Amino acid sequence: MKRTKRSTKIWKKTGTAAMAAMLLALPLAEGQGRAQTAPASSGQTAPNVLSHSAAQAAAKKMTEALMENYGVTGVQYAIRDKGKVVLSGGTTLDDAGAKQDISNTRMFGVGSVSKMYVTASAMMLADEGKIDIDRPLTDYIPDFKMADERYKQITVRMLMNHSSGLYGSHYKNSMLLGDNDSENYKALLSNLSVQRLKSDPGEYSVYANDGFQLLELLVERVSGMSYSDFLRKRIAEPLSLTSTRTPMDEFDRKQLEPIRLPGIKQALPPENANILGTGGVYSTAEELTLFSEVLSGKHPKLLSEASVEAMLQPEYRKGVWVPDTKNAFGYGLGWDSVDLEPFGDYNIRAATKGGDTIMYHSALISLPDDDISIAFQTSGGSSVFNTTAATNILLEYLKQTGKITNLLPEKTHAKPVKQTMPAEMDKYAGLYGMVGETRELKIQNSEIQMPALMSDMIPAQTYVYTGKGEFTSEDGRTVLGFDEQTNGHTYMRIRSDIALPGIGNSRMAFYEAQKLDQNPVDASAAAAWAKRQGKTYYALDEKINSLFYISPSILTKKIAVKAESGYANGTRIVDADHAVNAVEIPVMNGRDTFDLDFSREGGAEYLKADGRTYVSEDAITPIYAGESSVVTIPAAGSVRWFKIPAGAAGRTLMPTLPQGAGFAVYDAAGTPVALSIASGVKTAVLPEGGMVVFGGQAGDTLNVSLKKQ
């Protein structure tokens, strides 16, 4: 997988996470009437509306840049202005890699844009007086319990504005290929019942997927119907949305935009995000913009104007937050930002929601006061890229229609000039924590060396002191400072104008890390953790058809211990077998926290974290290097991992697989080289020092043959 230099770089760049999103549009030249979109019909190609306009040209330019340089294999976009689609188009690849126009009925997974649907659904129930968003969630889900009495303070509103204090996300078996298993959703309350909160409810907002799973459950409990039925009956049917569905619905999966990986010729099986309220909706760009009219108050019979306005309020400012005002982040109810930049520079109110599954990425931008919206969807890439591209297309459209006079020039960035740093700044040196990592920050000669940030979108650089308590990067684009916040924590603050070549810039302000106090650990506990230093633990209960096997770092945890400080992987060591989350970081970098809980059975050490069970590398045996062997899937787990010894390296793996079973093979660097479920190929050459994982139903027997080449 990812054999070209460019695709390898993109793979690392996009990872599996994401943040925000947007899209495009366009009117006719003076003297012409509005172009009409053709009726939606299966397989129809989107009309080439206003093909010579600046906005259309910008859309094509962004599409080409994304497909050439950002790992994107399909793009679909639409702009809706006062009820009419004024721009619609896109490009997709066929199995041979040739570019084709895309159908306007082609469906994409919208990822976390799904949160707008479940938020709107809850607000619809509030309009009907069936819920009060400021009452405790336990009033509506009485069996919701946690191992932390503060859970009783969580309100419905806190789920919508990310301030509930929940750890963040339970992803296990949620992203599956061709499988709509709802195990993850069914296990939600059980998983939360043994978890604590990372902060007081309402203290600050930080992205939390589980909150929207709880909203989905709330909608079901209060409405008395399944969430998919609620979406269909209360939203899709009234709006005549024929291509807005969930994995639980019956529809022709051939309508879905193919998902592709480098090195695999054919499309992968359909991706099912089976966490519907969090990220499970499929739709088209045109239908996303029609749903956006509900979020702008244009369909008061569905959602009241009062609820629309409540969703657009700057909820993020109620708690601890970065002081910066120009930012891609700024939560409302559901929205990622209710004052998206750079639209504020033009005195235009803009709200946005981005979404990322493993393979699909989406962005929706709404200008509620102007009744304009843009949706931009891709297969491959990132919602950050989509949002940036869509912003620039939409600005071109606003200029073309006379809503803005000129586009403001991009900000320039000069090389920073180092100034003398006051001695008091030295207090900010020391140990910092973030999710999964602890890092020692050194300030030497008025400089700070920083690794790459934001999934490598901000490169590793030297930051020099430039006055007013701030350090500036070599390229002048990023500023680092420190805030001593009202919750008693000290945070490293980042403000950056991120350059995305060929697409544009994205302004972001966030807290990167939290300063940690020393955590003394007794000698016996320190010795136990020292034995785990550098060891990798492998997930045992993720189904083999999970998309997470594409990025195995999600299914492994390599233990990194700061023995002298008492921390491991961003958690605070409590005793020999337990460590709890140590970071409380607002905005985005404090999302998806976890505890580490170790136990032993049958001579093997196991780890429980983020709802999964992992086994130590010490308990993983080499695959049998002879010609044939049998692998049995145990009742306690979905998969079995094996190391690839020198004796098995270079041989061709040819297993006999029961229905639904499969395998994945990784080289010594952890790069996937064979994924049987994704590719449909049932053989693989084993690389020395790598790993192979087999999966299937409990008790499945796999006959494994290793053939010499």
Beta-carbon contacts of residue 24 (< 8 Å; ≥ 6 apart): 55, 58, 59, 62, 77, 78, 79, 87, 374, 376, 389, 390, 393, 394, 397
pLDDT for residue 551:
85
Spatial CA neighbour of 396 closest among 50, 59, 89, 84: 59
Helix/strand/coil percentages in the chain, nearest 5: 25, 30, 45
DSSP letters for 547-588: GGGGSGGGGEEE--EETTTTEETTEEEEETTEEEE----TBT
From CA 496, how far away is CA 327, in angstroms rounded?
9
| pLDDT of 617 above 60 | yes
Average pLDDT estimate for 563-570: 94
Of 51-65, 120-134, 314-328, 600-614, the least confident: 51-65
Tally Cβ neighbours within 10 Å of residue 97: 9
Of 89, 81, 30, 13, give the one whose Cα is nearest residue 57. 89
Q: Are 480 and 471 in contact (CB under 8 A)?
A: yes
Residues 586 and 599: their CA atoms lie apart, in Å, by 32
- pLDDT at 406 > cutoff 60: yes
**pLDDT band at residue 31 under the 50/70/90 scheme:** very low
For the chain, helix (H) and strand (E) counts, in that order, are 15, 35
Where residue 236 falls among pLDDT bands split at 50, 70, 90?
Answer: very high
On whether the CB atoms of residues 593 and 435 are closer than 8 A, the answer is yes
**What residues contact 452, with CB distance under 8 A and at least 6 apart?**
458, 459, 460
| Model confidence at 662: pLDDT above 60 | yes
CB-based contact 605:599 (threshold 8 Å): yes
Residues 260/550, Cβ–Cβ less than 8 Å: no
C-alpha triplet 539, 543, 547: angle, nearest 5°: 90
Residue 3 clears pLDDT 60, i.e. is over it: no
pLDDT of residue 11: 32
pLDDT digits (tens, 9 = 90+) for 62-98: 999 999 999 999 999 999 999 999 999 999 999 889 9
pLDDT given for residue 563 in this prediction: 86
Residue 594's SS3 state is coil
* Structure confidence at residue 206 (pLDDT): 97
Of residues 227, 229, 197, 199, the one with CA closest to residue 214: 227
For residues 335 and 116, give the distance between their C-alpha atoms in angstroms, rounded to a whole number: 7
Tokens of 260: 């592709």
CA distance linking residue 317 with residue 161, whole number of Å: 10
Give pLDDT tens digits for 214-235. Answer: 999 999 999 999 999 999 999 9
pLDDT at 376: 98
DSSP conformation letters of 195-216? ---SS-TTSB-B--THHHHHHH
Which helix (H) or strand (E) segment is 598 a member of?
A: strand 596-601
Tens of pLDDT, residues 456-475: 999 999 999 999 999 999 99
CA distance 80 to 89: 12
Q: Which pLDDT band, with edges at 50, 70 and 90, does 709 fall under?
A: confident
In what order do the strands lie in the sheet containing 74-81? 99-101, 84-93, 74-81, 372-379, 360-367, 351-356
Cα within 13 Å of Cα(422), Cβ side = 8
Retrieve residue 177's tokens.
């290929």
Q: Strand pairing of 351-356 and 430-434?
A: unpaired
Q: CA–CA distance from 60 to each of 53, 137, 171, 202, 590 (Å)? A: 11, 46, 35, 43, 36
pLDDT in tens, 344-387: 999 999 999 999 999 999 999 999 999 999 999 999 999 999 99
Gap between the Cα atoms of 464 and 417, Å rounded: 8
- Report d(CA 89, CA 78) in Å as an integer: 7
When pLDDT is averaged across residues 569-576 and rounded to a whole number, the result is 97
Containing 114, the helix (H) or strand (E) segment is helix 114-127
Q: Where does residue 575 fall: left (phi above 0), alpha (psi -120 to 50 degrees), or beta otherwise?
A: beta
Residue 111 has pLDDT above 50, yes or no: yes
> Quick one: three-class SS letters along 371-419?
CEEEEEEEECCCHHHHHHHHHHHHHHHHHHCCCCCCCCCCCCCCCCCCC
State the pLDDT at residue 357: 96
Mean pLDDT, the chain, as a whole number?
91
Looking at residues 410-430, what average pLDDT do you find? 95
Q: How far apart are CA 102 and CA 305, in angstroms?
A: 35
Task: Calculate mean pLDDT across residues 645-658.
Answer: 95
* Angle made by CA atoms 606, 612, 585, in degrees to the nearest 5: 110
Helix (H) or strand (E) holding 665: strand 662-666
For the stretch 625-642, pLDDT in tens is 999 999 999 987 799 999
Output DSSP code: residue 39. P
Q: With 50 as the cut, is the pLDDT of residue 191 above it?
A: yes
Tokens matching residue 584 = 């409380």
Helix (H), strand (E) at residue 464: strand 461-467
Question: How much is the pLDDT for 553?
Answer: 86
Asked if residues 525 and 441 have their Cβ atoms less than 8 Å apart, the reply is no
Mean pLDDT to the nearest integer, 102-123? 98
Please give the single-letter amino acid code of residue 415.
K
